[in-house]
A and B are shown apart, each in its own frame.
Chain A
Amino acid sequence: MNARNYIKLEFPSKSINEGFARSTVACFAAQLDPTLEELGDIKTAVSEAVTNATVHAYPDTIGKIMLRAKLTADNGIEIVVRDTGAGIPDIDKARAPMFTTGGEERSGMGFTIMESFMDTLRIRSVAGRGTTVTMRKKISMRIGKP
C-alpha cells in the first residue's frame, strides 16, 4: 500500500503564525514539483484562510487553528483549515468580494482570492461552533518531469 503523504498542524490564532502556516504548506507542496506561480497560489490561499480564522473566528480570544494538508491521487493537494470559533452567519455574504466585517487593514477579498487561486473551495460553518475551509489544487505535470 502506498500511503499518501500528509501533514497536520495546530497552532494558536496569533497573527505571527500566518507566515509560519503558509511557508510550511508551501514546503510540503514542493514535493509535487509545482511552478513558482502554483506555489505562490497555494501560499496565498493558505494565508487568507488562516488570516480569516485569526481575525474572524476568534476576534477577542486566542483559539486553536487546525491545518491539514495532504497529497491527492490527481497530483494535487488538499488543504483543510479548521477553527472552533465564532462561525460565519451568512456564507454567501462572506464570499462576496469587498464584503468585510474586519477593520481598515482588511479588504474583504479573502474568499475571492482563495476561490480564484485554488481549483475548488468549500466552506462549512456553524454559528458558535466554528468553520472548516477545504481547498484543492491540482499541480500540472510538466514535460521532462521524472
Chain B
Amino acid sequence: MELTTTYKDGRLDLTFYGELDHHAAREAVQKIGQAIDSYLPRDCVMDFASLSFMDSSGIAVVLGTHKRMVEVGGRAWVVNVPRQPMKVLTASGIYRIVEIAEAV
C-alpha cells in the first residue's frame, strides 16, 4: 500500500493506494500520527478512491485517525469509498462514529 499526505490551509488530505491490511496498517498509523502531530490540522480527509482492498485493519486506521483528530480539536472523515472497503466499514458499524461519504 502507498499513502500520501498533503496539507493545505488547515486541511490534511490522506490518499490511500492499493491494499490496506495488517501488514500495511502499522506503517500507515505511524505516518498519519506524525502528519497530524506536525500540522495540527482542523480537518482530515481520508480518500479511499484508489484503495483496492481493505480488511479490518483499515477500521483500526480510520478509528485511530478519528481519535487523533479529536485529540487535537479537529475532525476526520472518509470519502470516495469503493464497494469492498465500504462493505467492511459497514459491517463494523464505524459509520456511527466517523462520517463516511457515499461510494463512488
- A-side residues, CB < 8 A to B, are 15-16, 18-19, 22, 36-37, 40-41, 43-44, 47-48, 51, 54-55, 97, 103-110, 112-113, 116-117
Q: When chains A and B are docked, how far (Å) is the Cα of A108 from the Cα of B93? A: 12
**Binary interface encoding of chain B residues 38-71 relative to chain A, with 1 for a CB under 8 A from any of its CBs, else 0:** 0000000000000001011101110110000000
Whether A107 contacts B22 in the complex (CB less than 8 A), given A40-B84, A44-B55, A48-B55, comes out as no
CB distance from B61 to the nearest CB of A (A): 7
Q: When chains A and B are docked, how far (Å) is the Cα of A104 from the Cα of B30? A: 10
* Max chain B Cβ within 10 angstroms of own Cβ: one of A15, A54, A103: A15
Chain A residue numbers with a CB within 8 Å of B29 are 104-105
Q: Which of A22, A36, A109 is B92 in contact with, Cβ under 8 Å?
A: A109
Please list 26 pairs of residues, one from A and one from B, whose beta carbons are closer than 8 Å in the complex, sorted by A's number.
A15-B21, A19-B23, A37-B83, A37-B87, A40-B87, A47-B53, A48-B55, A48-B56, A51-B21, A51-B22, A55-B22, A103-B26, A104-B60, A104-B64, A105-B22, A105-B64, A106-B22, A106-B60, A107-B60, A107-B63, A108-B56, A109-B56, A109-B59, A110-B56, A112-B56, A112-B92
Residue contact B88 to A44, C-beta cutoff 8 Å: yes
Flag whether B104 is at the interface (Cβ < 8 A): no
Residue contact A51 to B53, C-beta cutoff 8 Å: no
- A interface: dominant SS: helix
CB distance from A25 to the nearest CB of B (A): 13
- B interface: dominant SS: helix
**Binary interface encoding of chain B residues 77-104 relative to chain A, with 1 for a CB under 8 A from any of its CBs, else 0:** 0000001100110011100000000000
Residue contact B55 to A105, C-beta cutoff 8 Å: no
Residue contact B88 to A18, C-beta cutoff 8 Å: no
Q: Which of A37, A51, A54 is B55 in contact with, Cβ under 8 Å?
A: A51
CB distance from A36 to the nearest CB of B (A): 8
Q: When chains A and B are docked, how far (Å) is the Cα of A112 from the Cα of B87? A: 12
Residue contact A117 to B83, C-beta cutoff 8 Å: no
